[in-house]
Amino acid sequence: MLRFICFLLAPFVTTKVLYHAVLDPANTALDFRNSPFLTSHNAATGSLPTDDIYSVYYKNQDDSFASQLDCGARALDLRLQESNLDAKYLVFKHGIVRINLLYSTALAEIINWRIDNNNDPTDLIVLIHTGTEKAILQAKVELSAKNIPWLNSSDYTGKSLQQVLDQAGDLNIIAIDDSDIVNNYDNKYACSIPNPPVPTTDCVDDQATRDSLLSCFETVGVQQSSFSEAESQGLGLFFLNDLDIETFCIVKSLCQCYDEQQPAGGEFNIATCDSVFNCQVDRTPQENLFDFLADNIQDSLTSDSPWKMQSFWQATSLSLFVDTMMGSSILIDEAKSKLNENVAIEVKTLIQPQNFLLVDGVCNSGADIAVAMRGGTTIRVETTSSPTETPVCENDLLFKDIAGFSCESWWCYNCRDASYSVASIVDLEERCCLSCSSSHEGHELCADLRSTAVTAVLPKGVGVAVALTLLFLLNF
């Protein structure tokens, strides 16, 4: 049995403005390889909670799949893994971070969007999959059940867009493997880059210097990014272990620059540090990226395979360290550098073809990029939302089986007093959290749920340190 204590929150209304893309019909005579698709980079990260410390470094999108499609995305970069709790469930990931969103839930959202927006027979949605062999096989089963075809490279190589559409079924959605696409990622094109490289003879990688840099990271993490001391120390150790000697020396120089400014929570002016170019205050990183993009499209002319193009800031150890110093993030870097806004202008001058153009923050000027690539117009859409009132359900035992419980039926729930079997943990964590984690209160409840889930599976006598370790593994 499961006991829920639900409660009402004070009603509130939120307003959000997005620019939706109304695209012209696609040119179906083009090769699929030459057809333009605005592509949402790490699309599932839109479901990462914004108050998670890892969102600073791993959150590439800020909106749902449906909103990303509204904003002009017609290809979604999906990175899969089996659930740590039950391998029969597929969830998403970005690097070390697991995203608590079921693959089946994502497919349902994408299909519902297509059903509501299926008035253009030339409008194809491409789901680009990355994952282990087992995850891909499982995805194919779920796709087949929803009548979404999986196309192998032979199904679209040398084919026109119309020939691919003919295989796409009534929904005009196809799924393909990322390994069949030419990827063109390059870490040199990050928001923060060396200016110029600091001579490695100017610093020594010894324990004393490492201790100093760890202390620096802990300070900037707490003062600038509002991390706890424990979070800053853990992240600092993670970054220090990932630095090459050149970046190590640049970070040392940045820490000296920070000490000279002593912002202590105020705005840190990266422009005064001469060891890096930063995209928010200097044009050099963006000029380099656009040169790379132009060269990349030129190189693509000799390929028969679909082609990805990087038009986002790569996350490197140096750029993420600078983000921590500035209290910034991947999405803030994109917005403050006006990267997508400028990409929309740049793609008009780039040679064709432009195939899969990947962007972060696709709802920030993504509609303008999509229209620049394919033609059409953008419209301003203002939405308001407020939570629905929930019934009084204290001590309600209506739901005898957690598998039949839908969190969407309730605005919130409290798991602190819940009693459930170990077998129900997957449904609790990976289904129920989804509808509540968009709010701060809901996110706290999910965190409480995860700690409850850990204690539910621990044998008697296991210490707190081990419990915390297991909780970390469950989360990531």
Alpha carbon dihedral 243, 246, 249, 253, in 10-degree steps, equals: -110
Helix (H) or strand (E) holding 452, with range, is helix 440-457
Instruction: Please state, in angstroms and rounded to a whole number, the distance separating the CA atoms of residues 175 and 157.
Output: 14
Instruction: Please state, in angstroms and rounded to a whole number, the distance separating the CA atoms of residues 234 and 222.
Output: 12
pLDDT at site 239: 83
Would you tell me how many other CB atoms lie within 10 Å of the CB of residue 78? Answer: 24
241: which DSSP letter? T
> What backbone phi and psi angles, to 5 degrees, belong to 204?
-120, 130
Q: List the structure tokens of 445.
A: 């409840």
- List the helix and strand counts (H, then E) for the chain: 18, 12
pLDDT at site 237: 86
Would you tell me how many other CB atoms lie within 10 Å of the CB of residue 328? Answer: 25
Instruction: Please state, in angstroms and rounded to a whole number, the distance separating the CA atoms of residues 270 and 257.
Output: 9
SS3 state of residue 323: helix
Digits of tens for pLDDT over the chain (476 positions)?
333 333 333 344 556 787 899 999 999 999 999 999 999 999 999 988 877 777 888 999 999 999 999 999 999 999 999 877 666 788 899 988 888 788 999 999 999 999 999 999 999 999 999 999 999 999 999 999 999 999 999 999 999 999 999 999 999 999 999 999 999 889 899 999 998 766 667 788 888 989 999 999 999 999 888 888 888 888 888 888 888 888 889 999 999 999 998 886 678 899 999 999 999 999 999 999 999 999 988 888 888 899 999 999 999 989 989 999 999 999 999 999 999 999 999 998 887 778 999 999 999 999 999 999 999 999 988 876 554 433 333 333 333 333 333 443 333 333 333 333 333 444 444 444 444 444 434 444 444 444 433 333 323 333 323 333 333 333 33
pTM value surpassing 0.85: no
Instruction: Please state, in angstroms and rounded to a whole number, the distance separating the CA atoms of residues 106 and 66.
Output: 9
Which residue type, as a one-letter code, is found at position 311? S
* Residues 35 and 26 sit within 8 Å (Cβ to Cβ): yes
Farthest CA pair distance, the chain: 70
Helix (H) or strand (E) holding 234, with range, is helix 229-240
Instruction: Please state, in angstroms and rounded to a whole number, the distance separating the CA atoms of residues 112 and 18.
Output: 19
Cross-strand pairs, 396: 4
Which residue type, as a one-letter code, is found at position 112? N
> What backbone phi and psi angles, to 5 degrees, belong to 303?
-105, 145
pLDDT at site 267: 83
Would you tell me how many other CB atoms lie within 10 Å of the CB of residue 231? Answer: 16
pLDDT at site 386: 52
